[in-house]
Structure 1
């Protein structure tokens, strides 16, 4: 490779990484700019769309390096670097087809729009890459609603027509860009109160955050013994719904169930109360489901997740103690206190695919339990937070979070 080619490669990598660093987690409305770059760079270098998106994902997922090192200390730093670089390459891989799709759809605006839509959907939305495809650029457009998504699509179309009619393309791009930048969401970020606040949570809905860090089998018991009196105190004070973090009770076995029996009995005597407890529910031989235990009216109901974290929780090559992956399972919906809720458990808050299952279901509250002790010194918890906020604004519903750090 010549020196000129190397410079060109690095320039596109840096271009994508600048957008990624700027967008996540502090200004996610900038994330769609990674998509807007594609029809522009595609005309200059056939591999440019791949390099731009590779740079974007390298910038947004760098928290994997430290997070993996904490979670798998025996593996050393290299495993984290491998996950970071490998996943970023996988996310960007569909964009190698971008130039060919552009030509197949006869180039111009139509070709740019089709190529961008197809490659981005396969990159971070639908499985199999949708199972690991976090920091999707489309999440940045969600807080502006369908209008913001439409503006991004029109911008892509306009930029794709640049060679056909520069004046038309410029006017379309300028108008769309102005509309996108001056949406109520962005103005709200800048302090201009033009958008109503997100709906308030129902009265009496609370969560309990913890800072217990990594838990072992013994500390799960200790944690439960500490939390049960706190939950009962909240319920006795008049709270109706209490949400706890993901997996905070550990394996849901007879001993754990016995510790939480006073809470279950309380809900039997007070049927207007509900407790949602994160636990690992046994499913088959030595397999688990990452779930919420819904305690209500003296009964338990399992609310399972669909997509646990690959490698650390879901590892089918070693089935023992692996969590169940159910990519095409039922939408994560439930009725709590007479309210229709959707729930995204920890890792799912980073993805698009699980949220697509609940966006059309008329949910009124979004539940977001998480356990992020392993990533506390990275950008991952903040990215989770803004991802959930983006979906909540898109759905027009409040969020109830519970996090263990």
Structure 2
């Protein structure tokens, strides 16, 4: 029940990420691994409670599975992720009074936040750093981890109480010293309500192209110089798609306007003609492409596992390089967070040491826009932007 309560207070509907400090404090008092497992499993089960419904809508929506099978698979994922993320905390439970609780807490945090387990590292306690030390980047992250480690020792050490007081004082300074970052002038993000993209025929794709272009034109006519669209809004960037967009993109280039589109880019040579389960072998990147007056691309460093990233299957997204640099767009350095990356810390490592001008988040939430998961995703990426002191520009398709 403690894990459930913290999840509801920290994440939607509570939105008070500072209460994540309570988790290591409670965990440090447990002497049995089953107690620690139940604490953290309750937290992860509650925070990720929408996984069964999301799986049902996603896989049934694309016709991969029947609704009942997709829901059952979602239940397996829901239970599995909670046990996997709770396991390090259970294994590292301090079973003796002299156990190094702070070191164990830090090790558990790193295990659940960094790959390989960090591939599903949503709801990480690290998000407390954004709530406590806005704008302090790497220093804020380190102080946030120190706060979590100190909470694990708070009942066993008077020194931990003094350190905790100092860390709280630093948090007060961070909030007093901080300022609200402003978005660059002329940049807008466009939320759309186009739903799921059906790529089975060109008529449907062309209708999506027309709707997207008209929406983009509305954004530019309102005075914007850069318009950002959601992730995967137009699907695979086929030759036909490039042809439809060609004239409009030339107009944008001539008028010095830039469009940021969410597309899937086929990897060269990925369609080998070798049938697997009756389908061609296809690899693609879930990308943000810059067109019009600018040029560039940014690939998702971690597409959503099983949904898009499934290397064992005939069709799968691939992971972009963690070393991708910021993109220079309309004179500004822009960092990107593409959909599932909103939930994770490790893809954004560069933000901790080199601050760009803004963070652009692109998401496609046609299958979860009405669920708590969509609010938790927004909280997660906002916490990242808050810690790094960046203005956040976010485009979502519902």
Range of TM-score over shorter length: 0.7 to 0.9
- TM-score, normalised with respect to structure 2: 0.84
Indicate the SS of the match to 1:331: coil
Q: Is the 8 A contact 1:58 1:88 kept in 2?
A: yes
Q: Could you tell me which residue of structure 2 aligns to residue 331 of structure 1? A: 324
The aligned counterpart of 1:144 is 132
1:223 aligns with 2:208: yes
2: CA distance, partners of 1:403 / 1:62: 21
Over residues 146-190 of structure 1, what are the superposed CA-to-partner deviations in whole Å (9 max), with x where a residue is unaligned? Answer: 458526625633652644x5x5555655x36864886775xxxxx
Distance in 2 (CA, whole Å) between partners of 1:206 and 1:33 is 38
Structure 1 counterpart of 2:258: 274
- Please tell me whether residue 287 in structure 1 is matched to residue 283 in structure 2: yes
Matches within 5 A, 1:23-42: 23-25=10-12, 26-41=15-30
Do 1:32 and 1:141's aligned partners in 2 also have CA atoms closer than 8 Å? no
1:98 corresponds to: 92
Whole-angstrom CA distance in 1 between matches of 2:148 and 2:235: 48
How far is the alpha carbon of 1:135 from its aligned partner?
A: 1.0
For the structure 1 residues 34 and 269, does the alpha-carbon distance in structure 2 shift closer, same or farther, using more than 3 Å as the test? same
Alignment of 1:143-222 (within 5 A): 143-145=131-133, 146=139, 150=143, 153-154=146-147, 156-157=149-150, 159-160=152-153, 162-163=155-156, 165=157, 167-169=158-160, 173=164, 175=165, 179=169, 197-217=179-199, 218=201, 219-222=204-207
Aligned to 1:72: 59
CA 130–120 in structure 1, closer or farther in 2 if over 3 Å, else same: same
Does structure 2 retain, via aligned residues, the 8 Å contact 1:277–1:292? yes
C-alpha separation in 2, matches of 1:207 and 1:201: 11
Offset at 1:37?
2.1
- 2:6 aligned counterpart, secondary structure: helix
Please give the alpha-carbon distance, in whole angstroms, between the structure 2 residues aligned to 1:116 and 1:341: 34
Taking a change above 3 Å as real, the CA distance of residues 183 and 162 of structure 1, as seen in their structure-2 partners, is same
- Could you say what secondary structure the match of 1:99 adopts? coil
Q: Does 1:251 align with 2:236?
A: yes
Given that 2:105 and 2:148 are in contact with CA atoms closer than 8 Å, whether structure 1 keeps it comes out as: no
RMSD (Å) for aligned C-alpha atoms: 2.6
Q: CA deviation at 1:208?
A: 1.2
Q: 3-state DSSP class of the match of 1:214?
A: coil
2:46 paired with 1:59:
yes
2:316 aligned to which of 297, 312, 322: 322
Match of 2:387 among 375, 387, 394: 394
Q: Secondary structure at the match of 2:361?
A: strand
Alignment deviations for residues 81-129 of structure 1 (CA, whole Å, 9 cap, x no partner): 11110011111122233137x87xx945xx1111011111111x21111
Q: How many positions carry a matched residue from both structures?
A: 369
Residues 331, 357 of structure 1: 8 Å contact kept? no
The 1:282–1:154 alpha-carbon spacing in structure 2 relative to 1, beyond 3 Å, is: closer
TM-score, structure 1 length as denominator? 0.83
1:130 to 102, 118, 137: 118
- C-alpha contact 2:130 2:140 (8 A) present in aligned 1: no
Gaps of 5+ in 1: 1-13, 186-193
Alpha-carbon distance change, 18 to 179 in structure 1, aligned in 2, over 3 angstroms? farther
Report the CA distance shift for 1:55/1:170 in structure 2 as closer, same or farther (over 3 A): same
Deviation track 1:129-157 (CA, whole Å, cap 9, x = no partner) reads 11111111111222322458526625633
Q: Is the 8 A contact 1:244 1:277 kept in 2?
A: yes
CA shift at 1:392, angstroms? Answer: 1.0
Shift of 1:287: 1.3
Change (3 A) 1:31 1:169: closer
In the alignment, the residues of structure 1 paired with residue 21 and residue 382 of structure 2 have an alpha-carbon distance, to the nearest angstrom, of 17
